[in-house]
Amino acid sequence: MASSTRFQLIVKAGEDGQSVGDCPFSQRACMFANFTTNPGDVEVKTVNLVDKPEWFLKVNPEGKAPVLIDRQENKIIPDSGDIVNYIAGLYPNTGGYPLLNMRITINIC
């Protein structure tokens, strides 16, 4: 039997249909999920935003990506900012958002 992850993150597809495309909102959600969640928690699914499939419009009638589906809680979260906040709330031990464990140093002069 196929097992399913708790989360499905739907993002804009790249030209090959497989990779994450050039949507900064989708990329942000992907990167944040990658930093904060545990391996195996998130399935990333790409969607063609030029010719939007029916299944996608059912999930998000607004037709925008990214969209996070929390299968455990039966929730659909569109909007990258809301997705980031939602994930951050579920994984508080990762440093919190926006106080991630940054690997860069910001100097303000």
Ligand X SMILES: N[C@@H](CCC(=O)N[C@@H](CS)C(=O)NCC(=O)O)C(=O)O
Closest CA to 31 of 17, 42, 16: 42
Q: What's the rounded Cα separation, in Å, for the pair 102 and 41?
A: 22
* Minimum distance from residue 45 beta carbon to ligand X (Å): 14
Q: Are 71 and 41 within 8 A, CB to CB?
A: no
Residues 12-31 within binding reach of ligand X (CB under 6 A):
12, 23, 25
Determine which one of 23, 30, 59, 69 is catalytic.
23
Find the binder of ligand X among 5, 8, 43, 64 (CB under 6 A): 64
Nearer to ligand X (CB atom), residue 49 or residue 90: 49
List the catalytic residues: 23
